[in-house]
Amino acid sequence: MNPTPVPGLVSVVMLVRNRLEYTRRALASLARASGDFEIVVVDNGSDDGTAEYLAALDHPRPLTVLRHEDDRGGSERRNVGAAVARGEFLFFLDNDVLVDDTDVVEVLAAELAADRGLGAVSPLLLYPGDGALVQCAGGASTADGRIGPVGRGRQLGPRHREHREQSWAPTAALMVRHDSFRRVGGFDESFDPVSLCEDVDLCCRLRADGERLRYVGSVAMRHFEGTTFNHVGHDKLPIWKRHMRVIRSRWAELFAAGPAHTAADLEWVPVEKDYADLDRPRVSVLADPDSASADLSFFASDRVLATAEPADVRVVLVGADPVPAVRGVRVVGVADPDVRVLLSAARTHSAPWALRDGTRLVETVPAEGVVVRAPDTAAALTALRRGLHVLLGKYAVDDLARLVDAARQAPGRCSVDLPWAHHPQLVEVGKAVAEGRAEGFTVRLEQPEGRDVVTELGPDALDAVERVLGVPVTDLKTVTATRSRVRAAAVAGNLSGTIDLGWGEPRFHLSVTGIAATADLVAPPVSGAYADFVGALRGGPTPLTDLDAVAGLFDVVLEWRAEVAALLGM
């Protein structure tokens, strides 16, 4: 891994997942290219014969195949390919790109070799077929952070053949100086599993490190845009929008500094793509541009390629308390003001991002969900405004009114981590109550010592009472209180009962007078609320622990906490 680069050598790093018909054509076109280069193919879990084809392939260039049984995304796997590459220059290519000018590898490498200030270069990308329609003549951005390709859908003209500075370039065809790639840390794997905008981010990090990017329009490749199958089960358009918000948050100052592009540079023409016959592909300008939809854009193929598999999701943690390990859920960032706790949590979760500020984490790391364990209303509100789903720890509900108001108005959803909410035995007691005649109730909840008895245990106890009895707790009065144990008399509907909380051996006992069923739970639960949260991130229903639905419960808890604090002189 990470061998010493060979001067002058180019390493073509190609990521593939199925779509064998494209891979075969891409590798055949590279056989015609001139220059000194090797090929590293990273097979990201193909199951369509790609592995067998690559194993039997006799290619005129040195070929290394790295086989993986799963698809963890483009950033991680391109980094894996780069780690075994021997070239002074890394040429990242998608498997739906064909060599058009046979000297493209030589010309791009010569540009980098001649100007040490360059970190990366990219060629002209044309649509496939007999015509000369531009797919990308370099990457552009405006001072206010608008990002896009130059010339998309336009007829090839002299300005598209120029060499010029650019602010980013797509990984469909991007050549990077190997030592620069290593120095800035490669692709940010928090953009996985769906690789969108990771190329913009890499280019921005190169520029922030003092290097320039150049578009080399004198050489061209052909790009079957929209066919790379990098991950299943995702609708890419909303992910693109979410990643773009992250990019703008990270790199606003860099975009403002240039290189300068106008809004006109980013204007593009919708096209119709017909790849039914890959030997005779046809791409044409849409006759009625006003009729263009997302299906004619970068994301055209996704609805065809997506499957019913559960989508992988990413979460960031504000507050370093751990979360359960769930298959397909990646913790991509952690925030905590205590650096030692922060770094430990980041290592535990293999999270690529660790920041002390929770709001900054939410703004600058791509994710579908945010788990807020520590009191950080600002981070929770930022996440809701960005359309993310927030799971609040019980301690994090420190500004209930603002959080409930934001959860009702913002595009994001918010739920609370009440881990006992769906415990099967509590559900069974609830069924027995519905079928019988309850006369009273008793709850005793203990766990190893935490921070505050009422804040830590009160929400779970009240939630269990309300779910089992089917009515809210309307009155609560503290009977006895110490720093390690609190007992209260409670009223729920027309029933009276007691709630006893304390530190001790894990135990959750709930009984209802007049009903035979009793819950006596001694093992810590697998959090039903967290499972609901993950399900919602994958497109499932709003969790039963939705903040708006349990806000009344937290009103009672906050009043109870204040009453106990007054009794203890805290």
Least confident of 138-142, 284-288, 320-324: 284-288
Average pLDDT, integer, range 503-510? 92
Average pLDDT, integer, range 64-92? 94
Average pLDDT, integer, range 451-462? 92
CATH number for the domain harbouring residue 175 = 3.90.550.10
Decide if pLDDT at 253 tops 70: yes
pLDDT computed for residue 290 by the predictor: 63
Q: Are residues 469 and 420 in the same domain?
A: no
pLDDT tens column, 118-161:
999 999 999 998 889 999 999 999 888 788 899 999 999 999 99
pLDDT computed for residue 150 by the predictor: 94
pLDDT computed for residue 297 by the predictor: 47
Q: Are 426 and 510 in contact (CB under 8 A)?
A: yes
pLDDT computed for residue 479 by the predictor: 94
Token duo for residue 89: 């220059």
Cβ neighbours around 526 below 10 Å, total: 12
Does residue 230 form part of some domain? yes
pLDDT computed for residue 422 by the predictor: 81
Q: With both helix axes pointing from N to C terminus, report the angle between 453-469 and 424-435 in degrees, rounded to the nearest 10.
A: 40
Cβ neighbours around 93 below 10 Å, total: 26
Does residue 415 form part of some domain? yes
Portion of the chain with pLDDT greater than 90, in percent: 65
Q: Are residues 477 and 538 in the same domain?
A: yes
Q: Are residues 484 and 348 in the same domain?
A: no
pLDDT computed for residue 301 by the predictor: 41
The residue whose two tokens read 């001072």 is 143
Q: Are 62 and 38 in contact (CB under 8 A)?
A: yes
Does residue 302 form part of some domain? no
Q: Are residues 28 and 69 in the same domain?
A: yes
pLDDT computed for residue 312 by the predictor: 80
- Strand-strand pairing, 97-99 and 212-223: antiparallel
Domain extent, residue 254, equals 6-266
Q: Are residues 80 and 224 in the same domain?
A: yes
pLDDT tens column, 18-45:
889 999 999 999 999 999 999 999 998 8
Q: Are residues 103 and 167 in the same domain?
A: yes
Q: Could you tell me which residue, 234 or 389, shows the higher pLDDT?
A: 389
Q: Are residues 358 and 397 in the same domain?
A: yes
Strands (E), 240-359: 271-274, 282-285, 313-318, 329-335, 353-355
Does residue 371 form part of some domain? yes
pLDDT computed for residue 420 by the predictor: 87
Q: Are residues 121 and 216 in the same domain?
A: yes
Domain total in the chain? 3
Compute, in degrees rounded to 10, the torsion defined by CA atoms 539, 545, 548, 551: -170
pLDDT tens column, 401-416:
999 999 998 888 899 9
Does residue 534 form part of some domain? yes
Average pLDDT, integer, range 197-215? 96
Q: Could you tell me which residue, 72 or 480, shows the higher pLDDT?
A: 480
How far out from the chain centre does Cα 484 lie?
A: 40
Decide if pLDDT at 302 tops 50: no
Decide if pLDDT at 421 tops 50: yes
pLDDT tens column, 227-243:
765 444 556 777 888 88
- Count Cα neighbours of 181 within 13 Å in the Cβ-side half-sphere: 28
3-state SS, residue 166: coil
Q: Are residues 52 and 181 in the same domain?
A: yes
pLDDT computed for residue 100 by the predictor: 94
Residues 6 or more apart whose CB falls under 8 angstroms from that of 295 comprise 303
The length of the chain is: 570
Q: Mean pLDDT across the chain, nearest whole number?
A: 89
Does residue 211 form part of some domain? yes
pLDDT computed for residue 381 by the predictor: 95
Least confident of 184-188, 195-199, 222-226, 296-300: 296-300
pLDDT computed for residue 286 by the predictor: 80
Average pLDDT, integer, range 189-201? 90
Does residue 306 form part of some domain? no
Q: Are residues 153 and 96 in the same domain?
A: yes
Q: Are residues 368 and 408 in the same domain?
A: yes
pLDDT tens column, 81-95:
999 999 999 999 999
Q: With both helix axes pointing from N to C terminus, report the angle between 547-568 and 453-469 in degrees, rounded to the nearest 10.
A: 130
Residues 6 or more apart whose CB falls under 8 angstroms from that of 503 comprise 446, 447, 448, 449, 450, 453, 484, 485
pLDDT band at residue 527 under the 50/70/90 scheme: confident
Does residue 455 form part of some domain? no
Q: Are residues 216 and 260 in the same domain?
A: yes
The closest of 494, 444, 442 to 471, measured between CA atoms, is 494
What's the CA angle centered on 520, arms 516 and 526, to 5 degrees?
A: 125
- Strand-strand pairing, 389-392 and 414-416: parallel
DSSP string, 168-183: B--TTEEEEEHHHHHH
